[in-house]
Amino acid sequence: MELRTMTFLVVGFTFALYIIIAIRSRVATTGEFYVAGKGVHPVLNGMATGADWMSAASFISMAGLIAFKGYDASVFLMGWTGGYVLLAMLLAPYLRKYGKYTVPSFIGDRFYSRTARVTAVLCLIIASLTYVIGQMKGIGVAFSRFLEVSFEVGLFAGMGIVFIYAVLGGMKGVTNTQIAQYCVLIFAYTVPAVFISLQLTGNPVPQLGLGSAMVDGSGYMLDKLDLVLTDLGFKEYTIQKGSTLNIMLYTLSLMIGTAGLPHVIIRFFTVPRVRDARSSVGWALVFIAILYTTAPAVGAMARLNLMNTIQIGEIGSPTGNLEYDKRPSWFKNWEKTGLLKFEDKNGDGRIQYYGPGLKDKEDEFGWKGNEMVKVDRDIMVLANPEIANLPNWVIALVAAGGIAAALSTAAGLLLAISSSISHDLFKGMMMPDMSDKTELMTGRIAMAGAICVAGYFGLHPPGFAAQVVALAFGLAASSIFPALMMGIFSKKVNRTGATSGMLCGIGATLVYIFWFKGWFFVPGTNMLPNTPDNWFLGISPEAFGSVGAAINFAVAFTVSSFTPAPPEHIQHLVEDIRIPAGSGAAQDH
């Protein structure tokens, strides 16, 4: 069957599945809309969290990042998983015990302060909205590449699907579709990886294949990759290239940012008991780790395949490189998208792809510079099945998986945004005596509004779309995570301390990011060029969230020690959330 028809069938089938689930998960109360009636099984919630967390970036971009950065990309592997350890031990069980619907409502109650609550709502909306723009873009790209429909049509189709299940079913609809989406995305990710691992190493488990010997007898796969790369003048794959301090702080920022992202935290409000919240985080990480431990294998193997496709013979010999006219069809397909670009600099009709290490051999070989002028890292996962000559249904599956990853994350983020608008801003501040029914309607309207705003930004992406991930993690790491942790683990931190800590943490992080990336990301307004020599102690803007968090903690404790302790009832509240007994009973799901 033709690839395009096949892709339409597979993607259409998954969409039909999501709609059926949506119709079966309509809700009637705010408890169901916000937290799925607190009746989600911890293992299923783990699965939903996996889909909620793993975005278009995890599915499409991460393996590509690993392929081109090698060891240094470990920052993302450890950073985006290690946060779950913190979540399980420091936040999730206590926030579940507290039993409210949103993250800002805990911050507002614990610090008995509207300012703290509004600050938390603002951080939540900025972090989640910037994040959702990337998902919308991912949906559009997947559609336009694989279904050859326009970007807009793809985006509207995605928005329509999310609209149906998120507006009708709230958290319940989102949870049930996320479970289905997890199955689609993990299947789509692992199937090509298994095939490629088998082809290269004979081992069907990619995690083991990465550490195995090549079937062609050329030694261990990673040693081979190191050798191929260094021979072609690139840096060795398995060694560290960046500065140690920056790698540590970057990892830490991603970890505490992950633990502080509201759309992840609220997933653990949906399980019946405190003990379920603890184990559910473990299950979430199991489901996430299946993809995250496969990604390094996908990255390394895709890189090796790419190098071997182009460098077919001895380096420097006249026939050692692939002729441009003989390039494979996937090469042509991706050239059309502009994500892959070749330029015949020395006019020999062959492709030379090499790194700066071969500069001094150029004259000897008759080369005039690296001719692969653009190899976008995002194509590594998407083109992987084609590079490995896998059947069409595998390629169609990858398209459906990418769309599932983007949709599930978008829905989770939109839910976090709409629940904090309807519950914290409307119910909490403007109309405290709103009825349950009105609040549910407000939640639905907020959800519809958030989808439209996200869609607008997906169609008209602000120039800074690529930069904002640093912003989302920086905000979550420097404001929400420390505030929640201090709220649970300290009885002394008071209203003034927490609010000033949050503001200083965010302030420092924002200024540092804007300093190197331009004020509000307007190009040309940065104060210093964004290069390692200019960074404070070599800390990149993406890694600064952990410094912001440290500032938050320091300011909050210092200010709290000079100002009156929190009132009696707040201290009781803290004591109460520390023990599981007495958490709200589960409702019917």
Partner 1 sequence: MSDVAAYWRENIRLVIGCIIVWFIVSYGFGILLVKPLNTIQIGGYKLGFWFAQQGSLYIFVALIFFYAARMNVLDRKYNVQED
What are the residues binding partner 1 (CB under 8 A)? 66, 71, 74, 77-78, 81-82, 84-85, 88-90, 93, 207, 210-213, 220-223, 238-240, 244, 247-248, 251-252, 273-275, 278-279, 281-282, 285-286, 289, 292-293, 296, 575, 578-583
- Minimum distance, C-beta of residue 149 to partner 1, in the bound complex (Å): 37
Closest separation between CB of residue 326 and partner 1, Å?
Answer: 32
Q: Which is nearer to partner 1, 66 or 307 (CB)?
A: 66
* Residue 497: its H or E element: helix 495-517
**Smallest separation, CB 138 to partner 1 (Å):** 24
To the nearest whole angstrom, how small is the minimum distance from the Cβ of residue 64 to partner 1?
15
Locus of tokens 């007994």: 581
386, two tokens: 């084609």
Helix (H) or strand (E) holding 92, with range, is helix 92-98
Q: Which is nearer to partner 1, 159 or 254 (CB)?
A: 254
Give phi and psi for 125, each to the nearest 5.
-65, -45
Considering the complex, state which of residue 119 and residue 201 has its C-beta at the smaller distance from partner 1: 201
Tokens of 411: 């829905």
Q: Which class for 30: exposed (0-12), middle (13-18), buried (19 or more C-beta within 10 A)?
A: buried
Q: Beta strand pairing status for 372-375 and 340-342? A: antiparallel
520 phi/psi in degrees, rounded to 5: 50, 30
Nearest approach, Cβ of residue 203 and partner 1 (Å): 10
- What's the one-letter identity of residue 569? H
Q: How far is the CB of 379 from partner 1 (least distance, A)?
A: 21
Instruction: Classify the C-alpha dihedral 49-50-52-57 as positive or negative.
Output: positive
Please state the closest distance from residue 147 (CB atom) to partner 1, in A. 33
| Residue among 251 and 419 whose Cβ is closer to partner 1 | 251
Which residue, chain included where needed, has tokens 């904090």? 420
Q: Could you tell me if 349 and 343 are in contact, meaning their C-beta atoms sit under 8 angstroms apart? A: no
Closer to partner 1 at the Cβ: 275 or 368? 275
Q: Mapping DSSP to helix (H, G, I), strand (E, B) and coil, where does residue 291 land?
A: helix
Residue 307 C-beta: closest distance to partner 1, Å: 17
Asked if residue 294 lies in contact with residue 193, where contact means CB atoms within 8 angstroms, the answer is yes
We find the least distance from the C-beta atom of residue 115 to partner 1, in angstroms, to be 29
**Nearest CB to partner 1, comparing residues 82 and 428:** 82
Q: Which two tokens stand for residue 225?
A: 């990759």
In whole angstroms, the minimum distance from the beta carbon of 123 to partner 1 comes to 25
Nearer to partner 1, 244 or 531 (CB): 244
Q: How far is the CB of 489 from partner 1 (least distance, A)?
A: 8
Pairwise CA distance, residues 313 & 310, whole Å: 9
Closest to partner 1 by CB, 381 vs 454, is: 381
DSSP-derived letter for residue 341 is E
d(CA 294, CA 183): 15
Cβ proximity to partner 1, 207 vs 438, nearer residue: 207
For 334, the enclosing helix (H) or strand (E) is helix 329-337
In 10 A of CB 227, how many CB atoms? 14
Unique residue bearing structure tokens 């062609």: 216
Residue among 74 and 199 whose Cβ is closer to partner 1: 74
Q: How far is the CB of 574 from partner 1 (least distance, A)?
A: 10
Nearer residue to partner 1 within complex by CB, 66 or 446: 66
Taking a C-beta distance cutoff of 8 angstroms, is the pair 552, 482 a contact?
yes
**Strand runs labelled E in 245-292:** none
Q: Of 248 and 448, which CB lies nearer to partner 1 in the complex structure?
A: 248
392: exposed, middle or buried (Cβ count in 10 Å: 0-12, 13-18, 19+): middle
The 3-class SS string of 362-402 reads HHHHCCCCCCEEEECCCHHHHHHHHHCCCCHHHHHHHHHHH
Contact predicate 261/476, CB 8 Å: yes
